[in-house]
Amino acid sequence: MTALRQRMIAAMQMHGFSPRTHQSYLAAVRDLAKFTHRAPDTLMPDDVQGYFEHLVRERGLAPASVRLFYHGIRFFYLQVLNWPAVDLAVTLPKRPQRIPELLTRVEVAAILGACADVRHHMMLSLCYGCGLRLNEVLAVRVGDIDGERRLLRIEQGKGAKDRMVPLSPTLLAQLRAYWRAYRPGAPARGLAAGDLSPSGLHAAVRPQWLDRGPSQTAL
C-alpha cells in the first residue's frame, strides 16, 4: 500500500490538488481497503460497488461525504491504476437543496459588538464585509490590501483561485486603524498578526449565535 500511496500522492500533486483534497482522497482509498480487507489494486468493480452501498445503506453518510469518497476512489482507479474506465452502478444520494440562512444587519452588528478582542472584531468584519471564508481572512496579508482602488486580493481561495473583492470606505478605514494599532509588519506578513485560528473565531462568536435560539444554524 505504501507504493500505491506514493503513486497516488504524486498523481494528485501533478493535478495541483490542495492538501485537504490529498487527505480526503487518501482517506477514501484507505477506508475502501479497510472495508474489503484487500488491497485496492486487487478489487473488482463489484467490490467497489458493494462498498458504496455500505456507505449509503449501513453507515448512512451524508450525500456530500459519499460524493467525496466516490471522486477520491474514482481518481485512484483512473489516474493511479490507469483503469480505462470506472463504470460503477452507484446511485449517489441526492444533495439536499437548502437556502443559506442570511444574517440581518442587526444580528451582524450584535455579533461584532460582542467581540472584546480587537483582532477578532477586525477579522470577522472582513468575513462579513467581503464575504470571505475564515481560512481566507486569516490568510490575508498587508500587501493584499489595495487602499487606492479599495480592493482586497484573495489568493488561492476556494477552488485554488485568486480573486479581488471590493472594500467599502468604512471597512478600509477600520483596516487602517487596525494596522496603526497592531502594525502587522511587512507586506508578506499575515494581517491576523498572531495565533488566530478558525476555531478561535468560531469560539468568539458562538455565544452570540446560541442567543439566537436552538432553531438557528451556527456559523
Mean pLDDT of successive 10-residue stretches along the chain, which has 219 residues: 85 90 94 93 88 89 87 91 74 64 76 79 85 82 87 76 88 88 65 65 59 41
Q: Phi and psi at residue 40, in whole multiples of 5°?
A: -60, -30
70 and 127 together in one domain? no
Residue 159 C-alpha cell reads as: 477552488
How many domains would you assign to the chain?
A: 2
Report how far apart, in Å, the C-alpha atoms of 174 and of each of 135, 181, 190, 196 are. 20, 11, 16, 18
Q: Phi and psi at residue 32, in whole multiples of 5°?
A: -60, -45
116 and 31 together in one domain? no
195 and 134 together in one domain? yes
Predicted TM-score (pTM) of the model is 0.53
89, part of any domain: no
50 and 115 together in one domain? no
205 and 121 Cβ atoms separated by less than 8 Å: no
Chain mean position to CA 90: 26
Instruction: Give the CATH number, domain containing residue 70.
Output: 1.10.150.130
User: So what's the pLDDT on residue 69?
Assistant: 93
Enclosing domain of residue 11: 2-80
55, part of any domain: yes
